[in-house]
Amino acid sequence: MCTPAELSQFLCNVERRAFKHAVFAVHDDHTALDIVQDSMLKLAEKYGAKPAEELPMLFQRILQNTIRDHYRRQKVRSSWITLFSALQPKHDDDEIDLLDVLEDSDNNTSSLVPEASLQQKQIIALVEQALGKLPLRQREAFLLRYWEGMDTTETSVVMGCTEGSVKTHCSRAVHALAVALKAKGVELP
């Protein structure tokens, strides 16, 4: 059984990645933060007594379901809103980036020289932009496999599909990302 300290440590370790995962899915920092908080609360309330080794799989499943619930609610809401109000562009340039505020104690990156730091930030921005353009299932499979480090079986359980589907989604995502980055002049090793 998981102790409160183990649960707290797990949630601290997964917070930043889960937030970024949700941002890729919903394209809104505030909504993503709500989704992550809801997912963490659900995990703590309903599965806090489970063994610690089961927490990563449970949390990823809860996070994916919460993201899907968000889309379902959005679909219902948007059916009541006119097309014109839904197409209004957002101009929130003055908002802070929540990733700059969240601390990550496990972040071992050292400060780079300004030129390398700028280049790294530009490449990360291009990768994030390309990830945002992937279809939902491809993005989900890619993030679970390569960012969360889950194997094919775990990813298939979280996504609720076959291992073959996970492999297909990942392969297509990697190919699409490589093409998108190459078009922007980024050659990855």
Place of tokens 């409160």: 4
Residue 112, pLDDT score:
56
Residue 118, pLDDT score:
79
75 in the same domain as 133: no
Spatial separation of the C-alpha atoms in residues 58 and 32, rounded to whole Å: 18
In a domain, 96, yes or no: no
Contacts of 21 (CB under 8 A, 6+ apart): 63, 143, 147, 148
Check if the beta carbon of residue 141 is closer than 8 Å to that of residue 173: yes
Spatial separation of the C-alpha atoms in residues 128 and 125, rounded to whole Å: 5
Contacts of 33 (CB under 8 A, 6+ apart): 19, 22, 98
Residue 86, pLDDT score:
39
Instruction: Write the CATH number for 162.
Output: 1.10.10.10
Reply yes or no on whether the pLDDT at 36 is more than 70: yes
Work out how many domains the chain is built from and give that number.
2
In a domain, 21, yes or no: yes
Instruction: Write the CATH number for 44.
Output: 1.10.1740
Mean pLDDT of 39-58: 92
Q: Select from 83, 101, 136 the last residue of a domain.
A: 83
| 158-183 pLDDT per residue, tens | 899 999 999 999 999 989 988 888 88
Spatial separation of the C-alpha atoms in residues 118 and 136, rounded to whole Å: 29
The Cβ-side half-sphere exposure at 42, using a 13 Å CA radius, reads 15
Residue 169, pLDDT score:
93
- Residue range(s) defining the domain that contains residue 119: 112-189
Mean pLDDT of 130-150: 88
What's the angle, vertex CA 154, arms to CA 143 and CA 9, rounded to 5? 75
Residue 189, pLDDT score:
59
Spatial separation of the C-alpha atoms in residues 97 and 42, rounded to whole Å: 25
134 in the same domain as 77: no
- Residue 175: C-alpha distances to residues 47, 102, 111, 141, 145 (Å): 37, 31, 31, 13, 15
In a domain, 47, yes or no: yes
Residue 56, pLDDT score:
92
In a domain, 178, yes or no: yes
| 65-84 pLDDT per residue, tens | 999 998 888 776 665 444 44
